[in-house]
Amino acid sequence: MKSMSKGIVYLVGSGPGDPGLITLRGVECLRRAEVVVYDYLANEQLLNHAPPSAERIYAGKIGGRHNQGQDEINALLVEKGHEGKIVVRLKGGDPFVFGRGGEECEALRAAGVSFEIVPGVTASIGASAYAGIPLTHRDYTASVTLVTGQEGKDKDESHIDWERLSHGNGTIVFYMGIKTLRRNMERLIQHGKNPETPVALVRWGTLPKQRVLTGTLADIADLAEKNDFKPPAVTIVGEVVTLREKLRWFDARTLFGKKLMVTRAVAQAGEFATMLTERGAAVIECPTIRLVEPEQWEPLDAALRTISSYDFVVFTSGNAVRALFQRLDTLGLDARAFGDCQVCALGPKTAESIKTFGVRADLVASDYKAEGVVAEFSKMDITGKRILYPRADRAREAIPRELGKMGALMDCPVVYRTVLPDRLPPEAIFALEKRSVDCITFTSSSTVLNLAQMLGEDRMLDMLKGVAIASIGPVTSRSCRELGLKVDIEPGEYTLAALTDAIEAFLTT
């Protein structure tokens, strides 16, 4: 055996599609990667775990024919390993279940390159679970057989023991067998399997675009042709398929099959996207805002160095909270700098953001608009009180104006700016152009105004014809209407949770 090189190749199973199904070890490997070689079936969102500097190589572009391409992939892994690189070979499903991981490991071992296997959720396990079909069940079967659906292109040759496969009562799962579906089903029947045996096809299992088609051995091929059912998919054969209608959960969620567009800044979009995907929606992130530093730090820094001298600090968003505490840290300060200064938060979510930095809000405005803060302070005498209001560069003037009228001494330094992103994501533009978006969400006036600026008002209005418009509140709604958009959804409470509920109610009635 050759001596091992200093490089290492991690063969990481990425799971069947849902990016949340990768293992913690898989994520750890990606975070250390210098090179990532990824498959067609590996969710590209997982590449975000790798450092920006990591080289990303799509394996589908390597080589031509299938076997020739595999040889070239093996050679690439060996080459990068010999260069001393940390390489992640990101494979759909599990590397050792119809993933050709064994062949890649053999090539690495022969070349003296160290490797590690990181198992993943294989397609049969993930797709069946998300389709609501247990592969084993004490009342139905205690065994499962995994079979390649592409084996033996010549009908007269097969290494599968069809006789034994057909006479057992265990669940059978064919991988990647849609193109050979009819032949495989016929072989099972020819070797004694009951033609009425239930069958399910699961396409794009675990993803929002998952499709499930059920039938029997006798009719599933006809149903697949009639419904234009295409790869990639697994075929599940067995009585357990009948449990789907009772146990289905993933594609029974309220927003399943709906495509929603979120226009929040990248740093903000995750929370909202999670709320929507948990209800089954397919979310396209289209950030129309980018959060950046103030043009000058001096006004904010001067206020922060004497923050304990203020009577109140007013926070109206989680963005302002995070930006201010980041700047405090840069200045070598922390929550102790607040001293006896009281804190006012606009809404409980902002209060939660403040609490994560070790500070509790003394006042929490229940109204989610600036007027809520004004209402809280109107209950007290603030004449001569010093109030610090760290704000976005485009924040409304309601708070400083109205509190100033009450006699407060206001300092309102900019803590962050909102600017246009360099471009809109191509996948978002494509989705709008092909009219596949069901609903677009706007969570501030800037999100809709920036979209209009980047697309052009006329083009935006054309692209959003037939798309439900969801606005978080009246100020944002007014901006939408001024641009000529009809607002279909506006919650009574101006929070992401309430907006999610309102979207669900609108799209499911």
Please give the angle made by the CA atoms of 384, 388 and 393, to the nearest 5 degrees: 130
Active site residue 61: yes
According to DSSP, the residues that pair with 259 across neighbouring strands are: 282
Q: Minimal CA–CA distance to 399: which of 353, 344, 476?
A: 344
DSSP 3-state assignment of 260? strand
* Rounded Cα distance, 115 and 128, in Å: 30
Catalytic residue among 61, 379, 465, 486: 61
Contact 147, 181 (CB under 8 A): no
Cβ contact 440:461 at 8 Å? no
Question: Residue 5 corresponds to which amino acid?
Answer: S
Q: Which tokens belong to 360?
A: 């509790």
Catalytic residue among 39, 251, 311, 488: 39
Q: Alpha-carbon distance 216 to 237, whole Å? A: 8
Q: With H, G, I as helix, E, B as strand and everything else as coil, classify residue 169.
A: coil
* Contacts of range 345-352, beta carbons closer than 8 Å, 24 or more positions apart: 345/315, 346/314, 346/315, 346/316, 346/317, 346/370, 346/372, 346/373, 347/372, 347/494, 347/495, 349/318, 349/495, 349/496, 350/315, 350/316, 350/317, 350/318, 350/321
User: Which of 80, 85, 94, 176 is an active site residue?
Assistant: 176
Q: Which helix (H) or strand (E) holds 329?
A: helix 318-330
Q: What is the CA radius of gyration of the chain?
A: 28
Instruction: Clarify whether 405 is annotated catalytic.
Output: no
| 3-state class (DSSP) for residue 105 | helix
Q: Which of 11, 89, 15, 105 is nearest to 55 (CA)?
A: 89
Q: Are the C-beta atoms of residues 471 and 495 closer than 8 Å to each other?
A: no
147 forms bridges with which residues in the sheet?
174
Q: Do strands 171-175 and 233-237 pair parallel, antiparallel, or not at all (unpaired)?
A: antiparallel
- Cβ neighbourhood burial of 25 (10 Å; 0-12, 13-18, 19+): middle
Q: Which residues belong to the active site?
A: 39, 61, 176
